[in-house]
A and B are shown apart, each in its own frame.
Chain A
Amino acid sequence: MPRVAVVGAGMTRFVRRAEETGKELAWKAAKAALDSCELTLEKVDAVVLASAPDAFDGVHMKGEYLSDGAGAWRKPLIRSYVGGGSGVFAAIQGWYHVASGLFDTVLVVAEEKMSSAQPHPQGAFLTIFDNMIERPLGPNLLWIFAMEMNAYMTRYGLEKKDIALVAVKNKKNAKDHPAALLGGDITVEDVLNSEVLAWPVQRLDVSPITDGAVAIVMAAEHVAKRLTDKPVWVAGVGWHLDTAYWTDRDLHYPRYVEYAARMAYEMAGIREPRKEIHVVEPYDPFDYKELHHLEGLLLFPPGKAPEAARDGVLDRDGDLPSCPSGGLLGVGNPIAAAGLMKVAEIFWQLRGEAGARQVPGDPRCGLAQAWGDLMQVATVMVLRR
């Protein structure tokens, strides 16, 4: 398989409500990524663009609307869309654009502007429920997450305080991220005392509504070696879709994450992920999801990730730093952009360029993961330097 590298990355600050339009955000991130590897747009052969539901923006065919901001005019463009999994999936599509031999240099852009939707962007999600047997019941999106969190807690005998540590860690990590929306010092008690939205989900268990964009540049080996002396190689990719009858799934364990991870590990030749992966960015739109995903990624046995959080294993200076960026809980959750932010973070961590967020120990292998659709798609990328 031809080798493909990430050679540049850039992002906007993540904010609650940006004055910039979606395409202005996309442009800023795309330009920053190109500048980071001193590349001009005419050297880009193709563009991959990720953005989640059109309904956020009220713009049909949002990919076309955003395309000039992503540098895609008069180039081959593909829009990447698997809900919340889109950000990492866009990088996977960038990888196979290059690995196939079709293109040498691909710009991957992920953008989300959630703030336009009124009165609340959650309205965009109401149509994901089955229109015969669920929508007449008046569901809201929190129901699914709350019930999945409850299933996870009940199955493994976990308490809210076991899970709240993740929110505390990620908001603390985000204090060191120059793009972060919600970095800060909070305590487990703050989480447990925050407004109950849909028990067991409370206000501080959830990531914020966010506007922002992220971009990376991916290149074939012969191009990558000309562009940088620190290419970060894509070692493995995986993605997987489970049943959309979400009420038929075992909600306590993300089997689809395991399958996506196994696909990526096989490609990367990873036999013992807990030993061979040095830094990880699992998808954390809710605090329990980070733990759930670490287990699905086979980094901890089912139900055991909370112990790792408690023992400091997941801290930035722990044995397996998890979400050193600050994650979606701390940096913010502009859906598609949040996933690609995780790929960018692993890129910066493996190059030793993560500044105050840099994890110790000279990491050589990292993993970014995202999750979405109707809670049943997982996208995984393993990177090595």
Chain B
Amino acid sequence: MSSAERVVPVRGLSDSEFRSVPGTEARVRAEYSWDAGYAMGTFLKGLKEGKILATTCRTCGRTLFPPRAFCEECFRPTDGWKEVGPTGHVYTFSICYVSWDMRRLAVPEIPAVIRLDGASPGMGILHLLGEVDPSRVEVGMKVQAVFRPPEERRGAITDVLHFRPVS
């Protein structure tokens, strides 16, 4: 090791040392209530009616999904709404066995980026896959949205229960 290099020591603590050195603990309780806004609010209302809505931009010709109130490339308001899906394909996916705090899950989750038919190429949304054996999931697989029954819908992304393979 060259003496020119400057690395200074610090004291690394084991788990038990960490519990025994002086310190304090606190829990932050933060609560928020968010407005969905114009574009996402309209999208969520659409889900309640069993529709998946995208916005369109006349200038670039794109069908924007997830929908937005303005086209970020043309930098102008979007022009209208268009129904997309409920079918599409899996662009990519994971089979996740752990929660965010690294506990093992009893049943793995299958998050995926779904590219919906009718949206512009390359535009997708995050959701979960269901009614499928994890070992059978593959990129490119055709899927469709499974909506909750109308009386259970609340105008939320979870009004779509998951996406399942198109039989």
Contacts and interface: CB of A to CB of B under 8 A. Distances in A.
Contacts of B125: 133, 247
B5 interface: yes
A19 B7 contact: no
Given A12-B10, A137-B111, A351-B4, A247 B157 contact: no
A119 B97 contact: no
Contacts, number: 182
B6 A151 contact: no
Given A19-B21, A136-B156, A198 B94 contact: yes
Interface string A1-40: 0000000111111011111100001001101110110000
A354 interface: yes
Interface of B: 1-2, 4-15, 17-18, 21, 25-26, 28, 34, 36, 40, 43-44, 65-66, 72, 91-102, 109, 111-113, 122-128, 139, 156-158
Which 9 residue pairs are nearest across A and B when measured between Cβ atoms? Answer: A15-B12, A146-B94, A140-B100, A10-B6, A198-B96, A353-B4, A151-B92, A355-B1, A120-B101
A13 B12 contact: yes
A131 B34 contact: yes
13 contacts: A12-B8, A17-B18, A18-B12, A28-B8, A131-B34, A136-B157, A137-B128, A138-B109, A139-B126, A199-B95, A200-B94, A250-B122, A348-B4
A33 B12 contact: no
A122 B8 contact: no
A contact residues, range: 35 or more
B102 A120 contact: yes
A69 to B, nearest CB: 13
Interface in A232-251: 243, 245, 247-251
Contacts of A76: none
Interface in A98-144: 115, 118-120, 122-123, 125-126, 130-134, 136-143
A197 interface: yes
A199 B94 contact: yes
B26 A58 contact: yes
A178 B113 contact: no
Contact of B98 (A19, A35, A198): A198
Contact of A25 (B10, B21, B43): B10
